[in-house]
Amino acid sequence: MCLNIFSYKSHPNYKLIIAANRDEFYARKTEAAHFRNDNPDLLAGKDLEHGGTWLGLTKTGKFSFITNYRDPKSFRKDAPSRGALVSNYLNGSESPEQYLKNLKNTQHYNGFNLVAGNLNEVCYFSNVENKIKKLDNGFYGVSNAFLDTPWKKLVTGKKAVEAVISQNNFSPEDLFSALHNEQKADDSELPQTGVPYEIEKLISSVFIKSEAYGTVCSTVVLIDNQNRVQFFERTHNPLKENKTASFEFVVG
């Protein structure tokens, strides 16, 4: 499902701040974030079942992430993998807007929200809405509805992240703490997306935990005004050895 909260050129010290949770079945095979052998400029995790990724950035300053749009009545098991949409942008040379304009057959995919950006431009596209939105400098969030749809988990997550980054000094650990909130929404605050009540309740928290499905990793990305990158990924999968990996480099 996933939750991504991001500040684009709206903080005095950072051009980009991303705080994100990836939710998935624990048994799904993935690789943690790493610089790819086939593209040493690309830092991203990898879905070993289909080859794509959910979030990544490059040494040239491109970044992208994707979330599912929750609509079970339209879900197709034979749809292509949405993670390729992130990888293809990050491996290519097109600008964010050019890439999204050139996407073909997006109706063949299950519903998604895709953010593609660089240090000069950020765009959002959902194949459900079928519109490209060029984003102004600002503070945004996306879960499993359209950008900034005020579901309780998104409102809670944005409020917590905003409280952290409004401090004069904050640490990546502060952002990880903001992402680790297991409080579920009240019944009156649950969206009605067509999934059973028990599932809707389970996945209504910022951080999800259950026997087979939950938040498998959290990612924090900071790019300051000197284009220095700090990238942190913390894994939470109960079927694996969990750790926090960090990367530092300069984009340009």
117 pLDDT more than 80 = yes
Q: What is the pLDDT of residue 8?
A: 98
Q: How far apart are CA 66 and CA 82, in angstroms?
A: 8
Average pLDDT over every residue of 218-226: 98
1 pLDDT more than 70 = no
pLDDT in tens, 223-246: 999 999 999 999 999 999 999 999
Q: What is the pLDDT of residue 54?
A: 97
Number of compact structural domains in the chain: 1
Do the beta carbons of residue 221 and residue 231 sit within 8 Å?
Answer: yes
Place 252 in a pLDDT band, splitting at 50, 70 and 90: confident
Q: What is the pLDDT of residue 161?
A: 98
Q: What percent of the chain has pLDDT over 70?
A: 100
Strands (E), the chain: 3-8, 14-25, 30-35, 42-47, 55-58, 63-68, 112-117, 122-126, 131-134, 138-142, 213-224, 228-235, 244-250
Q: What is the CATH number of the domain that holds 49?
A: 3.60.60.10
pLDDT in tens, 32-81: 999 999 899 999 999 999 999 999 999 999 999 999 999 999 999 999 99
Do the beta carbons of residue 14 and residue 225 sit within 8 Å?
Answer: yes
On average, the pLDDT of the chain sits at 96
pLDDT in tens, 138-172: 999 999 999 999 999 999 999 999 999 999 899 99
Q: What is the pLDDT of residue 168?
A: 84
Q: Which two tokens stand for residue 11?
A: 């903080």
pLDDT in tens, 2-38: 999 999 999 999 999 999 999 999 999 999 999 999 8
Please give the residue range of the domain that contains residue 188: 3-250
Backbone dihedral region of 2: left (phi > 0), alpha (psi from -120 to 50 degrees) or beta?
A: left
